[in-house]
C-alpha cells in the first residue's frame, strides 16, 4: 500500500508560516507523511523539522520553488550559475531532512513567463542546469522531481509528453516527473493514459480533485488513477495538495477565490479515507 501524505500548506495562511506547527495535526488525522517546502532554501530549519518528524513518526518529502534571481532558464550565465549552486544547496538540505526527493519547481521560477516567442532555449538551459544538479542529487541518494503544472502557472512542461522530452534533454536517471491530478485534469486528454505514458519516470504524485478541492470534491475518477499507477509500478506516496483558503496568501497566490472546504479537518479526513480506499 502506498503512503498517503499531505502538503502542509493546506492549513497555513502564509508562505512564511511555521510548517512544523502542523505536523502533529497531519499525524493525528492519520497521514503517513508530510510534504514541506524549502521556502527558505538552504536556510530552512531542517533540524527542528527533523526532530518533530522523528517524534511523530512521519515520513517527509521536500519540495521547492526556484527564486527568480536564481533562474536557471536565464540567458545570463551568471544568473544560471547562481541558480545551479542554490539548487545544489537545496538538495543538500533535503538530504539532511531525510527526504528521498526534492520536487516541485526546481527547474523554473513559478508564475514567470519570458517575452520571447521561441521558448526552446529556456527549456534547454533549464534541462542542462538540472543535469548538473542531478549529479549532486545522485551522490546523496535523492531524486529530483519536476512537477508538470498547468499552462497558467508555467511554460516549461505542462503535459507528460513535454515532460518526457525535457527528461530526454536532461539525460540523467536522478531526474523524474512529478504528476498532479489537478494539473493533469487540465492538460491531459486521458489521465490514466498519461500516467501510463510516464511509466517508470513517475517519481512523485500529487492528488487534488478537478477543481483543486481535496480528493472526492470533484469529478476525477480515482480508481482509474489507481489502475494506471499500478500498471507503471509506482510505489511512492500519494500527497494531497490543495490551498483551500481564499482569504490567505497561500490560497490567493494560486487563485483560490472561494472556500474549497467547509471544515478543514473533516474534509481532509474524508479525502484521506477515499485515497486509502480507492488509490493507495
| pLDDT tens digit sequence for 74-104 | 999 999 999 999 999 999 999 999 999 999 9
What's the pTM? 0.97
Beta pairing class for 238-240 and 33-37: unpaired
Q: How many whole angstroms separate alpha carbon 90 and alpha carbon 93?
A: 5
Q: What is the mean pLDDT of residues 21-34?
A: 98
Please list the residues that pair with 104 across neighbouring strands.
64
Q: What is the mean pLDDT of the chain?
A: 97
The torsion of the CA quartet 12, 13, 17, 18, rounded to 10 degrees, works out to -20
Point out the catalytic residue in the list 7, 35, 147, 187. 147
The rounded radius of gyration (Å) of the Cα atoms in the chain is 18
pLDDT at residue number 136: 98
The pLDDT confidence band at residue 278, using thresholds 50, 70 and 90, is: very high
Contact call for residues 60 and 100 (beta carbons, < 8 A):
no
3-state secondary structure (DSSP) of residue 194: helix
The CATH homologous superfamily to which domain 4-278 belongs is Divalent-metal-dependent TIM barrel enzymes (3.20.20.150)
DSSP 152: T
69 is catalytic: no
User: Which residues, in sequence order, are bridge partners of residue 239?
Assistant: 5, 206
pLDDT at 221: 97
Percentage of the chain lying above the pLDDT 70 cut: 100
Containing 14, the helix (H) or strand (E) segment is none
C-alpha to C-alpha distances, 214 to 43, 61, 141, nearest whole angstrom: 30, 19, 31
* Structure-block grid coordinates of residue 176: 523524474
**What is the grid cell recorded at 179?**
504528476
Q: Any catalytic annotation for residue 162?
A: no
Q: What average pLDDT score do residues 51-57 get?
A: 98
Q: Over the range 9-18, which residues count as b (16 or more CB within 10 Å of their CB) and which as e?
A: bbbbeeeebe
pLDDT, tens only, 202-252: 999 999 999 999 999 999 999 999 999 999 999 999 999 999 999 999 999
CA 83 distance to own-chain centroid? 19
pLDDT at 178: 98
Amino acid at each position: 500500500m502506498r503512503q498517503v501524505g499531505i502538503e502542509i500548506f493546506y492549513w497555513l495562511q502564509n508562505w512564511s508560516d511555521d510548517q512544523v506547527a502542523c505536523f502533529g495535526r497531519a499525524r493525528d488525522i492519520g497521514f503517513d507523511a508530510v510534504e514541506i517546502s524549502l521556502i527558505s532554501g538552504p536556510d530552512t530549519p531542517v533540524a527542528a523539522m527533523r526532530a518533530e518528524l522523528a517524534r511523530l513518526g512521519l515520513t517527509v518529502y521536500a519540495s521547492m520553488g526556484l527564486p527568480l534571481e536564481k533562474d536557471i532558464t536565464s540567458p545570463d550565465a551568471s544568473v544560471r550559475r547562481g541558480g545551479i549552486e542554490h539548487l545544489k544547496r537545496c538538495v543538500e538540505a533535503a538530504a539532511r531532512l531525510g527526504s528521498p526527493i526534492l520536487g516541485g519547481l526546481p527547474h523554473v521560477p513559478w508564475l514567470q513567463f519570458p517575452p520571447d516567442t521561441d521558448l526552446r532555449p529556456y527549456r534547454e538551459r533549464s534541462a542542462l542546469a538540472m543535469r548538473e544538479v542531478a549529479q549532486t542529487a545522485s551522490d546523496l541518494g535523492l531524486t529530483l522531481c519536476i512537477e508538470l503544472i498547468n499552462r497558467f502557472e508555467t511554460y516549461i512542461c505542462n503535459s507528460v509528453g513535454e515532460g518526457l522530452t525535457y527528461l530526454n534533454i536532461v539525460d540523467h536517471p536522478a531526474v523524474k516527473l512529478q504528476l498532479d491530478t489537478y494539473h493533469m485534469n487540465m492538460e491531459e486528454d486521458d489521465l490514466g493514459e498519461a500516467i501510463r505514458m510516464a511509466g517508470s519516470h513517475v517519481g512523485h504524485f500529487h492528488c487534488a480533485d478537478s477543481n483543486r478541492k481535496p480528493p472526492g470534491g470533484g469529478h476525477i475518477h480515482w480508481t482509474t488513477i489507481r489502475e494506471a499507477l499500478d500498471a507503471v509500478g509506482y510505489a511512492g506516496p500519494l500527497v494531497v495538495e490543495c490551498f483551500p483558503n481564499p482569504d490567505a496568501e497561500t490560497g490567493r497566490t494560486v487563485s483560490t477565490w472561494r472556500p474549497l472546504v467547509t471544515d478543514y479537518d473533516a474534509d481532509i479526513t474524508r479525502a484521506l479515507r477515499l485515497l486509502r480506499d480507492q488509490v493507495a
